[in-house]
Amino acid sequence: MIVAEFEVWHSRPVAPTRRVAISGGHLPVDPTPGYGGLLLAGIVASYVECLDDDLRDDLYSLITELENGHRVPQPVLRHRLQVDRVGLSSSTHRLRATDDQLVLELAKAAPPMPQILACVYRIGQMQTEIRRSLMTIVRSAAAWSGGPGPEVLPWLAGAAAIDLPRLASVDPQAWAMDVFGLEPEGQVSKRSIQRRFRTLLREAHPDHGGKHDTAAEAIDRLNAARTILLAEGA
């Protein structure tokens, strides 16, 4: 079962200008680090060995700037962050829960630097407390030197004191039902899920009374829950 997913948009290898863009993704981070935080940190750890010492130092500096909520002038680390995704290729990374184990699935042949930058920038968009918590584990991920492999997640779990087996055994559908305020054992149609999503989305939006400082995370949580419920065919 896919419990977290993140899509990175980046220039093709032959493009003269290096660019990167991000989308929201399916990144549950409540409570932190959640599946989403573990996926983002896992991506960083898997690709960071491709950076030389100078670039890795620059990455640490970027992590600190974003952790503190600072605006970062572009380009950074030879790449320019942008909103427009026209003309960019995409790489999708997933975290799966299988038989009480978490498995990191990385996109094939993805250029390392855009993947790392996208993860750090995505965390930089999050609410202050969540952002600072996740930057801590990403800072640990940036110190990993073993490359991609099955050792990445256990190492990150140890660095962040995460109970990995317990996290892997959490029922994503039960979590999603709770986010939607539905009974865990209840049966609802896809139409009902969409209707409930629109109602909660409207309530979370600042224009309809939602809190400005938490609206983005609330909307991300609702999107993640909807993805899980629709995928499960609830």
Phi (first) and psi of residue 216, to 5 degrees: -60, -45
Q: Is the pLDDT of residue 16 over 60?
A: yes
Find, among 154, 27, 150, 156, the residue nearest to 92 by Cα.
27
The pLDDT value given to residue 232: 58
The three-class DSSP label of residue 95 is: strand
pLDDT tens string 64-102: 999 999 999 999 999 999 999 999 999 999 999 877 788
Tell me what pLDDT residue 51 has. 94
pLDDT tens, position by position, 144-199: 888 898 888 888 877 555 555 555 545 667 777 888 888 766 778 888 999 999 99
Q: Rounded to the nearest 5°, which phi and psi values hold at 200?
A: -70, -35
Query: Measured over all CA atoms, what is the biggest interatomic distance in the chain, rounded to whole angstroms?
Result: 54
CA–CA separation, 22 vs 1, rounded Å? Answer: 23
> Does residue 32 contact residue 143 with C-beta atoms inside 8 Å?
no
Say whether pLDDT at 222 is over 90.
Answer: no
Whether the pTM exceeds 0.85: the reply is no
> What local confidence, expressed as pLDDT, does residue 234 receive?
44
Q: Tens of pLDDT along 33-68? A: 889 999 999 999 999 999 999 999 999 999 999 999
Question: Do the beta carbons of residue 111 and residue 13 sit within 8 Å?
Answer: yes
pLDDT value, residue 142: 93
Q: Which two tokens stand for residue 43?
A: 């991506």
Q: Which domains does the chain possess?
A: 2-169 (no CATH), 172-232 (1.10.287)
